[in-house]
Every structure is written in structure tokens, then in C-alpha cells.
Amino acid sequence: MRKIEARRLWLPGNSSMSMDEMIRLSFVFMDYAMHSRDYRFLNTALKINDRLRKERKIADNMEIEGRERDCLEILKKRLGLMR
């Protein structure tokens, strides 16, 4: 039931949060994930970002993608996947 409810809440236009709030939440989750090394928060931020990309075609996407790229590069270095 929880999965079904979560999917329903994530339908476009069915959120109690504004897009700007979702962007800020995504950034907070990315920052926390990198600081705490709890990458579940990064995973959640990436899912939020996927939704934002579907619903919003604006300049914020460049900032979102830049932060994602930075986080993923740091993660790869920490895991020894990059030199």
C-alpha cells in the first residue's frame, strides 16, 4: 500500500510542494548525502531531480544537473572508480 500511495503522490501536479521547494529539498538532500556519506539521500535527490526535469523546462535544470554531476564525481572518487 505504501508504494502505491507514494507513486500516487508523485504524479505530476499532485504534490503539496511547489517546484521551488522541491529544488531546495533536492539540494539539501544532495548536500547532506555528500557530508554524511549516506547515499540514500543522494538517491532520493536524484529521483526528485528526475521528476523536476519532467515537469520543468527552465534554467534551474542547469544548476540541478551541475550539482548532480559534482555529487556523482565525488561519489566515484570515494568509491575508487575515478583517479
Q: Residue 54 corresponds to which cell in the numbers above?
A: 519532467
Distance between CA atoms of residues 62 and 83, nearest Å: 26
Structural contact between residues 39 and 79, judged by C-beta atoms closer than 8 angstroms = no
Q: Residue 60 corresponds to which cell in the numbers above?
A: 534551474
- pLDDT tens figures, 3-50: 545 555 556 665 677 788 888 999 999 999 999 999 999 999 998 888
Q: Residue 31 corresponds to which cell in the numbers above?
A: 548536500
Structural contact between residues 59 and 66, judged by C-beta atoms closer than 8 angstroms = no
What does the angle CA 19 – CA 46 – CA 36 come to, to the nearest 5 degrees? Answer: 110
- pLDDT tens figures, 52-67: 887 766 666 788 899 9
